Amino acid sequence: MITERLPYPRANGVLLVIAGIVHILAPRLLLKMAEKGYKMALAVDFTPNSRSTRRVRAVGIGMVLAGLHLLYHGSN
């Protein structure tokens, strides 16, 4: 059983909510940044397909839900 807690769960919750909102509102920008980052750092081609924006938004929804959970249940 894991009993270790994050030092600032509410702050982490806020960060997750903000990151999730960015994923929901600007998935194409994030995919473009990932494409450039992969090319520069890893020297590989990354070409998002037609379903990529939907997947990025789905990840964003999960991040928002996890952040809201930390905001509601977290305690400092």
pTM of the model: 0.82
Q: How far is residue 71 CA from its own chain's centroid?
A: 16
41-60 burial: b if 16+ Cβ within 10 Å, else e: eeeeeeebeeebeeebbebb
The pLDDT tens digits along the chain (76 residues) read: 666 666 788 889 999 999 999 999 999 999 999 999 999 999 998 888 989 999 999 999 999 999 999 999 877 5
